[in-house]
Amino acid sequence: MFKRGIENELERWASNPYRKPLVLRGARQVGKTTVVHRFGEQFDNYLYLNLEKVHARQLIESTDDVKTLLPLVFLYCNKTRKEGRTLLFIDEIQVSSHALALLRYFYEDAPDMYVIAAGSLLETMLDKHLSLPVGRVEYRAIHPCSFLEYLGAIGKERFVELIVHAALPVVFHEELMQHFKTYALIGGMPEVVAQYAANFDIVALSNVFNQLLNAYKNDVEKYADTNTQANVIRYILDEGWAFSGQSITLGGFASSPYRARETGEAFRTLNKAMLLELVYPTNNVVLPIVSDLKKTPKLIWLDAGLVNYASGIQKEFLLNSDLLDTWRGMAAEQIVAQELRTLTYEVGLKLNYWMRNKRGSTAEVDFVWTFDGKIIPIEVKSGHNAHLKSIHQFMMEANHDIAIRIWSGNFSIDKVKTINEKEFRLINLPFYMISSLPNILATM
């Protein structure tokens, strides 16, 4: 057991007197149930219902009156009610549309109750077979472990606050880069991180990776509506890992016989399951960010460790001294995207990259990030500042003076000029400091 960052977010939710029932959303195996069990230890009464168990489902479907239901749940859980706060955790809620509808009554009729819901297949069933009560619940997203959570798991939590506040002495740079390289290799799936923290044996993780991949493949029939869609999803889960960080075409993806329409539908299903994301370009340098869906997207998967294992590139990590040299830079883009996601617990966060919308121009910036009403360009690249040509192109059109380069070098903030003499501040951010980005931007 190690602490997850979302536990602090759950504490903020619980301290809000106007809170609503909370729905935790995330892919399978990212630790939703474990996090809530740990959080439940803070309460005087903690009740757990797993609706995949028939009797638990029958109990919650027996009434619409939550005040009548509550003592029955205490009885089912074999617990005596104590004075103080009560947290009810409804797990695998996707198996009961009645339970989903019931969330609104907890909000309206039992506002003193603390209610959290989650479900391993909830994402793929929403808007297709199930709906959540609008305006009566709130959401948080849970992701694989961040680098900071990884540090806590392996006993290096003393670095966390220094990293978050960009106050880490340069003497620790090489040590933190080595830790980040290992994190980028094994990824952030909680079971993987926990097992690695127990014995520091990368080879022993193969069985865990294999089980996770098989679990996702075994869910295909639950994701898909037709046999054709199931076949396409299965193909993507077999072959698609090797295309992480790359621009892809939907039609004939990975040399498949499937058409763009079939592949696009399968990708959208896996995106809803939060197993992957198609990152589309935007032409905008000022808000709002509008995705150009006519252009080719980049494929970013749920977790770098799964990508490295399924693609057979783990050995390449060990042979390359610089993460930017691994897998033609694709490994770096995957882990950066993964770290950027962990900067927020908002549901529906969408990543984009930037493409210059001018004839004859091929300028692209790896990612863009919204902060304080600005679109901030993020390039994952080494080299001299003058060689960051795409960032220079972006900054010539931008209405602000901040750009970010993520690399293997030390942290610094440089003043740089474009060819038209516009001066901007370039934040050179080591990979291990991505989590400090909000604090750094807030001071600029």
Direct distance between the N- and C-terminal alpha carbons of the chain, in angstroms, rounded to an integer:
37
More confident residue, 126 or 149: 149
Kindly indicate the confidence band of residue 382, based on its pLDDT and cuts at 50, 70 and 90: confident
Phi, psi of 197 (to 5 degrees): -65, -25
6-15, 131-140, 182-191, 264-273: range with lowest mean pLDDT: 131-140
CATH 3.40.50.300 boundaries in the chain: 6-141
43-47, 218-222, 325-329, 377-381: range with lowest mean pLDDT: 325-329
State the fold for domain 6-141: Rossmann fold (3.40.50)
Start-end of H helices in 154-240 = 160-164, 173-186, 190-199, 206-218, 220-223, 227-239
pTM: 0.94
Task: State the Cα–Cα distance between residues 33 and 24, nearest whole angstrom.
Answer: 9
Give the mean pLDDT of the chain.
93
Q: What is the mean pLDDT of residues 145-162?
A: 98
**C-alpha dist (Å) from residue 115 to 52, 222, 324:** 18, 26, 44
61-70, 80-89, 386-395: range with lowest mean pLDDT: 386-395
pLDDT tens readout for residues 4-36 = 999 999 999 999 999 999 999 999 999 999 999
Percent of the chain residues topping a pLDDT of 70: 97
Kindly indicate the confidence band of residue 129, based on its pLDDT and cuts at 50, 70 and 90: low
Residue 349 has pLDDT above 90, yes or no: no
Residue 75 has pLDDT above 70, yes or no: yes
pLDDT of res. 133: 77
Q: What is the mean pLDDT of residues 111-135?
A: 80
Q: Are 348 and 264 in contact (CB under 8 A)?
A: no
- Residue 404: closest CA among 372, 362, 438: 438
pLDDT tens readout for residues 93-103 = 998 989 999 99
pLDDT tens readout for residues 304-322 = 999 999 999 998 887 888 8
Task: State the Cα–Cα distance between residues 430 and 369, nearest whole angstrom.
Answer: 17
pLDDT tens readout for residues 189-209 = 999 999 999 999 999 999 999
Task: State the Cα–Cα distance between residues 433 and 334, nearest whole angstrom.
Answer: 16
Residue 130 has pLDDT above 80, yes or no: no
143 exposure class (CB count in 10 Å sphere: 0-12, 13-18, 19+)? buried
**Coil vs helix vs strand at 416:** strand
246 exposure class (CB count in 10 Å sphere: 0-12, 13-18, 19+)? middle
Kindly indicate the confidence band of residue 127, based on its pLDDT and cuts at 50, 70 and 90: low
Tokens describing residue 39: 């959080």
Q: What is the mean pLDDT of residues 121-145?
A: 81
DSSP 145: P
pLDDT tens readout for residues 322-335 = 888 887 788 999 99
Task: State the Cα–Cα distance between residues 182 and 177, nearest whole angstrom.
Answer: 9
